[in-house]
Amino acid sequence: MSAEAHHAEPGFFRKYLFSTDHKMIAMQYLFTGMIMAVIGGYLAYVFRMQLAYPSQQVPGYGVVSPNEYNSLVTMHGTIMIFWVAMPVLLAAFGNFLIPLMIGCDDMAFPRINRLSYQVFFLSAVVLLASFLVQGGAFGGAWTSYPPLSAKGAYNLTPVGASMWLVAVALEFVAFLLGGINFVVTTMNGRAPGMKMYDIPIVVWMIVLATIMFMFSVGPLIAGAVMLLFDQLLGTGFYDPGRGGDPLLWQHLFWFFGHPEVYVVLLPALGIVAEVVAVFARKKLFGYKTILHTAWAVWVLSFVVWAHHQFVAGIDPRMANVFSITTLLISIPLAEMVFVYIATLYGGSIRLATPMLWALAFMAEFLIGGVTGIFLGASGTDIYFHDTYFVVAHFHYTFVPIAIIAVFAGLTYWYPKMFGRMLNETLGKIHFWGSIITFNVIFIPLFITGTAGDQRRIYSYAQFAEQARPALQHLRVVSTLALLVFIAFQLIFVFNFLWSLRHGQRAEANPWMANTLEWTVPSPPPHGNFADMPTVYRGPYEYATPGRREDFWPQNVPN
């Protein structure tokens, strides 16, 4: 796929499974993430069918039992965040883009990079294997709160609970190994001439996100060891009867869990920045503003975590503090979106598929951000907490991040990754089909949530005060929209696979972009650059007055 046969062609295993080439590792992460996305989507399909048509046969699954329902929602959340969003946004794009965009031949530590993927692969195997053990996969929610998660008698999935913890811990190790590589490579491996403010925004964002991940995950690694000991070795770290405190887990989890949102958000914002500048044919408005707001998000993200715990029994005075910081963090993020809109203003916009996805990201993420205000303020959160309003809000942030921005990035860099162009018509059909159905899935959930529908309920029929038959049609609409959404993804899969062989051949720079990855052939050969590039200017010099072409690649002297 990637290596031109300069010397002896490496064997299948050396090339695809034990490669140290950053592009191959990126593809491994990408395809693993996509396979996991199919599994996560299948789980969502099963439990949405259960919610729309309670206790009936689900085609392709069977009747869902209450325990299985818990496992389904838990594993859907876990897989989509830790095994789809993280590997695709951070690891796949990070691995593929960082060395190419900063103009070097590989990661600083290629073998540690390979180890990172191998540990990640192992973590995925452990997680998927937990479906097969006695009691089934973990059913204590993706946040894994004790005492529910600490005692098998409570969560009814004693083996699955521990396997879940081990899998998550392995996954963290994988991203620590990969992440340190990202940071060090970007700091030390830049091409001559590339100063701090010449680094493309997406690389900045991936590195900032990585540092954020490295700093927030440590306490949770310690906390996960403690929870594992509670499960297996009879300690009482989170057992109030024995001097422990279950709130400690919540704090350690969200000290990581909330920055985690920004860990995946920042790369998504970076991808959107690249796409917007290229397809508006205009210099990115306020490069430094974006960076400074990203730093502000970075700092603030470490002081907002307890807004997930307003109803968990934290002190109301602390809840006030965390309400304020939470509302504050929306300011830099809003500013960033304004900067992107300002970039569009006066540009000559080309509505190619990547641009459509980037624009959709801004529109949909805006809804996610605005509904977050209700949950960040502790007063309203007490009502909305644990309703489908939270679910809808969450998906209005995470679907733009992990689906929409990823499609923007994939459709934009596909020619560079595989040397072929995607089909534009299919791309646009897929775009409109996905965006419309996505809104039809989640807008009804805002309504049912506001009406009081609790999440994590297997069947409303068993709770008289929860039944609300008048809302059932909304639950059905949401499920049906999901079915259509999934059907539209088949178009993307077809387009992706068909274009690999039959797409139009991509030249080196089909989008006429400035960043360094577009100066090498598509797909880039082993070692990336035939001659190591030198950088002369920032990455967003589009439509410079007095130049014949409307773009000005970073490595062209004048």
Q: Give the shortest CB-335-to-another protein separation in angstroms.
A: 23
Supply the minimum distance, in Å, between the C-beta of residue 404 and another protein: 30
Residue 176 interacting with another protein (CB under 8 A): yes
**Of residues 135 and 236, the one with the C-beta less far from another protein:** 236
Amino acid at site 468: R
**Choice between 146 and 354, CB closer to another protein:** 146
For the bound state, the minimum distance from the C-beta of residue 5 to another protein, rounded and expressed in Å, comes to: 18
Residue 251 in contact with another protein, rule: CB under 8 A: yes
Smaller CB separation from another protein, 226 or 422: 226
* Residues 256 and 219: beta-carbon distance below 8 Å: yes
Query: Minimum CB separation from another protein for residue 172, in Å?
Result: 10
Q: Which token pair is 232? A: 């297996």
**Cα angle 363-365-370, degrees, rounded to a multiple of 5:** 100
Told to check if 438 binds another protein by CB under 8 A, we report no
Nearest to another protein of 74, 250 (CB atom): 250
Of the residues 61, 154, 229, 536, which one makes contact with another protein according to CB under 8 A: 229
Binders of another protein in range 503-532 (CB under 8 A) = 532
- Shortest CB 283 distance to another protein, Å: 24
Is residue 194 near another protein by the rule CB under 8 A? yes
Would you give the binding string for another protein spanning residues 263-282, x where CB under 8 A is met? Answer: --------------------
Residue among 221 and 500 whose Cβ is closer to another protein: 221
Q: Which is nearer to another protein, 19 or 423 (CB)?
A: 19
User: How many residues contact another protein, by CB under 8 A?
Assistant: 59
Q: Considering only residues 409 through 428, tell me which ones interact with another protein, judged by CB under 8 A.
A: none
Which of 383, 344, 354 shows the shortest CA–CA distance to 511?
A: 354
Residue 85 vs 194, nearer CB to another protein: 194
**Do 421 and 414 contact (CB within 8 A), yes or no?**
yes
- Should residue 121 be labelled a site residue for another protein when binding is judged by CB under 8 A? no
How far is it, in rounded angstroms, from Cα 390 to Cα 381? Answer: 9
Strand partners, 420: 505
Comparison of 225 and 461: residue with beta carbon closer to another protein: 225
Residue 10 in contact with another protein, rule: CB under 8 A: no
What is the signed CA dihedral for 27, 28, 32, 33, rounded to 10 degrees?
Answer: -50
Cβ(182)–Cβ(205) under 8 Å?
no
Note whether 433 binds another protein by CB under 8 A: no
Whether cis (ω within 30° of 0) applies to the bond prior to 192 is no
Please pick, from the candidates 51, 72, 107, 119, the single residue that binds another protein as defined by CB under 8 A.
107
Tell which one of 225, 370, 467, 493 touches another protein (CB under 8 A).
225
Q: Which of 44, 104, 156, 205 binds another protein (CB under 8 A)?
A: 104
Residues 296-335 that bind another protein (CB under 8 A): 302-303, 305-306, 313-318, 322
Structure tokens at 90: 């951070």
3-state secondary structure of 194: coil
Among 187, 351, 436, 493, indicate the residue that binds another protein (CB under 8 A). Answer: 187
CB nearer to another protein: give 93 or 175: 175
Q: Provide the token pair at 101.
A: 């965009």
Q: How many helices (H) and strands (E) does the chain have?
A: 18, 0
- Report the residue from 89, 205, 220, 272 that binds another protein according to the rule CB under 8 A: 220
Give the closest residue to 140 by CA, choosing from 265, 230, 51.
Answer: 230
The set of residues, in sequence order, having a beta carbon less than 8 Å from that of 296 and lying 6+ positions away, is 331, 332
Q: Is 109 in the site for another protein (CB under 8 A)?
A: yes
Residue 173 beta carbon to another protein: minimum distance, rounded to whole angstroms: 11
What are the residues whose beta carbons fall under 8 Å from the beta carbon of 223, sequence distance 6 or more? Answer: 248, 249, 252, 253
**Contact string (CB under 8 A) for another protein, positions 230-249, x = contact:** ---xxxxx--xxxxxx-xx-
In sequence order, the 6+-apart residues with CB closer than 8 A to the CB of 398 are 80, 81, 85, 261, 264, 368
HSE at residue 490, side-chain half, CA atoms within 13 A, is 6
Q: How far is the CB of 18 from another protein (least distance, A)?
A: 14
Ranges of H-type helices in 468-552: 472-502
**Dihedral (C-alpha) 6, 11, 12, 13: value to the nearest 10 degrees?**
-120
Q: Which C-beta is closer to another protein: that of 248 or that of 443?
A: 248
d(CA 517, CA 509): 9
Distance in angstroms (rounded) separating the CA atoms of residues 317 and 517: 50
Question: First vs last Cα of the chain: how many Å apart?
Answer: 34
Q: Which is nearer to another protein, 239 or 386 (CB)?
A: 239
Residue 272 and residue 352 in contact, taking contact as beta carbons nearer than 8 Å: no
CB of 229 closer than 8 Å to CB of 237: yes
Among 23, 190, 283, 393, binds another protein (CB under 8 A): 190
Phi and psi torsions of 505, nearest 5°: -60, 135
Structure-block tokens of residue 302: 């470490």
| Contacts for 11 with CB less than 8 Å, ≥ 6 apart | none
CA atoms within 13 A on the CB side of 274: 33
Residue 3 sits in the site that holds another protein (CB under 8 A):
no
| Residue 376: CB minimum distance to another protein, A | 16
* One of 54, 135, 189, 452 touching another protein (CB under 8 A): 189
Q: Which is nearer to another protein, 315 or 465 (CB)?
A: 315
Other Cβ atoms closer than 10 A to 8 = 6
Q: Is 23 in the site for another protein (CB under 8 A)?
A: no
Place of tokens 């880039």: 524
- Residue in 73, 81, 91, 108 binding another protein, rule: CB under 8 A: 108
Contact stretch for another protein (CB under 8 A) within 214-222, 271-279, 418-426, 474-482: 214-222
CA distance 374 to 395: 15
User: Binding residues for another protein, per CB under 8 A?
Assistant: 99, 104-110, 176, 180, 183-185, 187-190, 194, 214-223, 225-226, 229, 233-237, 240-245, 247-248, 251-252, 255, 302-303, 305-306, 313-318, 322, 532
